[in-house]
Amino acid sequence: MSSPVKARADVDLNLMREVRQEVEEFNLEYCRVLDEGRIEEWPNFFTEDPLYRITGRENFDGGFPLGVMYCDSIGMMKDRAYAIAKTLVFSPRYLRHYITNTRIVSIRDDHSIESEANYLVLQTQLGEPTIIFQSGRYVDRFIRSRNGLLLKERHCVYDSTIIDTDLVFPV
């Protein structure tokens, strides 16, 4: 991603604020769907040719494509959502996503939007205390559709060098 947008004469700060609010509203709905367990709706937030990846900071910073979850087509995402909803067996849990510090990195000539935001996911399993499941940052590229923003890319870059082995849901 390119360097942060600076307050310059050629940057429309009102446009940047409007776009940031649009991205924040997108993320609010994204979190709501995941937190309510409506996993089969998750692919609807993406373009037909998306890239979704959950990866460690070291891999991301090193430019390595590896990830603990990797989907590079809408079909892969739909299969993942179906498997979670219908076929996988795992202990029941509740998730809460929190997204903060949304920053618009750039608005490109093709009207795509690059942004970053911090995320935190809490998990509560029945009979267990709530834990921090994962923290990190989203590195996103959005495009505009007739119905609003869609994710072309979402890289979920987690901070910890150790992650929970029961990573089932997207973050």
The highest-level CATH class for domain 13-158 is alpha beta
Beta carbons of 24 and 142 less than 8 angstroms apart: no
Count of beta carbons in the 10 Å neighbourhood of residue 4: 10
SS3 state of residue 81: helix
Would you state the pLDDT for residue 166? 58
pTM: 0.88
**Six token digits for residue 38:** 């409506």
| Strand 46-56 relative to strand 148-158, pairing | parallel
Would you state the pLDDT for residue 116? 98
Give me the tens of pLDDT residue by residue for the chain, a chain 171 residues long.
Answer: 444 444 444 568 899 999 999 999 999 999 999 999 999 999 999 999 999 999 999 999 999 888 889 999 999 999 999 988 887 666 788 999 999 999 999 999 888 999 999 999 999 988 999 999 999 999 999 999 998 999 999 999 999 876 665 566 789
List the domain boundaries for the chain. Answer: 13-158
Would you state the pLDDT for residue 89? 65
